[in-house]
Structure 1
Amino acid sequence: MAEKKTQDGSSIEELQAQIEALQQALEEARAAMPEEADGVLADAEAIRERVQEGLQDVQQQIDAHPVPSALVAFGLGFLIGRLLTR
């Protein structure tokens, strides 16, 4: 029996083999996801904690030096405003 061909010359059997290979790769990726996800979640939690600590440090500095903090914030806002209006 003649082999059926698609427009680009690939046979149906070749396409089915490629689909099966892609499905297998997808299943392997899904199986590996929980292991990788745990590592990513642990990294995200560590980053969140470091950001939280940094924000607490900034808040302590603002509480300890309110006037210079306000002047720095005003100066930065002024500079950013000047840069954005150009």
Structure 2
Amino acid sequence: MIMIDINSINQIKDIFSKVLDVTLISILVYYIYKNVINSYSVNLLKGMIIITSIGIVSYYFNLYTINWLLNYIANILPIAMLILFHQEIKK
């Protein structure tokens, strides 16, 4: 008779959940990448990556003024995006 240990069941469950997590994130990133490349928002994506990188660096090095400025921009950004891209949103 084969005895299955509770720890081995938990390990299998843990491995499965990690593989499923990576697979779903990979699919999500692929479809986002596919849609961004086929549209005019490539430059927007590049800008967001640069601003996010600057935010991470400024947070890591405790750069108060840059953090304040990025937080201020982050509050205004959703409204600005709606105004700037209202034609694409209508489509």
Q: Which has the larger radius of gyration?
A: 1
Q: TM-score, normalised by structure 2?
A: 0.46
Greater RCO structure (CA 8 Å; 6+ sep): 2
Q: TM-score, normalised by structure 1?
A: 0.48
